[in-house]
Structure 1
Amino acid sequence: MTALEFTYNLNRVSKTLKPFAMRLTRDSEDANDLLQDTLLKAFTNRDKYTDGTNLKAWLYTIMKNTFITNYQRMIRKNTFIDTTDNLHYLNSSENSTYNEGYTAFAMEDITKAIDSLDQAYKVPFMMHFRGFKYHEIAAKLDIPIGTVKNRIHIARKELKDMLRVYSHMD
């Protein structure tokens, strides 16, 4: 494929990349930057593209890998390495201390909310919380896997409603 043909195909497919970039970055300007980086990498590495393969998939892979690389670079840049004897890795953006008393109140409310759930929802939810897979829960409780998924979904929804006061926390 010639450079002109590659550029034409690149332009034709690039319009479908913007929504994917938006989903990754959740910011219009960052999405535009990611799209530009992706197209630049694709063009400069066009010799690595195998003619006849899926160009769109190749571009999506480049975009995803570029996003991951940029994210990891940003995390490394914001991480401070303490060179004292105990060698702690500290995130430099975390400059405040957290009030553990607030956590105790929240945990108490969470426990009360879970205890107030109907047993039909509480048991599968707690099993899933403890690490059981859906199919394992279904086998242990001798119910269909769809029922397990539905009960866990309902438990989450009820807990979300009961604990709405904590929705501002991230």
Structure 2
Amino acid sequence: MTTLEFSYSLNKLSSSLKPFALKLTRDIDDANDLIQDTMVKAFTNKDKFTEGTNLKAWLYTIMKNTFITNYQRMVRRGTFVDTTDNLHYINSSSVQIENGVFENFTMDDAHEAIEKLDDAYKTPFMMHYRGFKYHEIADRLQIPIGTVKNRIHIARKLLKEALMVYQHKN
């Protein structure tokens, strides 16, 4: 499919995306933005589209994934948009004061928990934490790769139990 044919097909399908975008966003302006983002991503990734497959389904998938990514980004930022006319950000980071005390407690407890691990678990875990791949750890420690994966898994499980006090409750 040529670029011109692909562009024509995208343009033809763009209006059929609006109901789905409205269902996701529940706002006409956000829906239009989502459609625009979807079209831009589809056009820039046209080489990833397999000719002969369902273009409309591909666009719906891009739209859904774009919406999810944008939603997760908004949640991570931790801001809430005031929907009044002036559109202020309620929890703007410019007015927050950071206190690193809790981070120090967390890191100290994490280091202490790691130190308490048996060397059989601590060594592969720390190597993986420092960026070594599983096969590199297996080669260096001269143990099977399955054993490396198992020991790292057990180390994570033990650390999760040791640091349970930091688990967020919803």
Q: Under a length normalisation based on structure 2, what TM-score does the superposition of the two structures give?
A: 0.55
Aligned residue for 1:122, secondary structure, equals: helix
Letter of the 1:155 partner, please give it: A
CA contact (8 A) 2:24 2:67 kept: no
Which residue number corresponds to residue 7 of structure 2? none
Name structure 1 gaps, 5 residues minimum: 1-5, 18-29, 79-90
What is the deviation of 1:73? Answer: 8.6
Partner of 2:25: 33
What's 1:27 paired with? none
Could you say if the C-alpha distance between residues 59 and 98 of structure 1 is closer, same or farther in structure 2, counting changes exceeding 3 Å? same
Amino acid at match of 1:52: G
Q: By how many angstroms is 1:67 displaced?
A: 4.4
Map of 1:107 onto structure 2: 107
Rounded to whole Å, the distance in 1 between the matches of 2:92 and 2:50 is 43
2: distance between equivalents of 1:104 and 1:72? 26
String of CA shifts for 1:84-143, please: whole Å, max 9, x gaps: xxxxxxx93363323223322222211111011011110011011111111211111122
Partner of 1:86: none
Count of residue pairs brought into register by the alignment: 129
- 1:61 is aligned to 62
CA RMSD of aligned residues (A): 4.5
State the distance in 2 between where 1:102 and 1:92 align: 21
Cα distance in 1, alignment partners of residues 154 and 76 from structure 2: 36
Structure 2 residue runs of 5 or longer lacking an equivalent are: 1-11, 40-45, 80-90
Alignment of 1:8-157 (within 5 A): 32-33=24-25, 37=31, 41=35, 52-55=52-55, 56-68=57-69, 92-93=92-93, 95-157=95-157
CA distance in 2, matches of 1:149, 1:166: 25
- Residue 138 of structure 1 aligns with an amino acid whose one-letter code is A
Distance in 2 between the 1:73 and 1:164 partners? 27
1:163 maps to 2:167: no
Q: Counterpart of 2:101 in structure 1: which amino acid? A: G
Q: 1:166 to 1:121 in 2, by over 3 A?
A: same
The separation in 2 between residues aligned to 1:158 and 1:75, in whole angstroms, is: 27
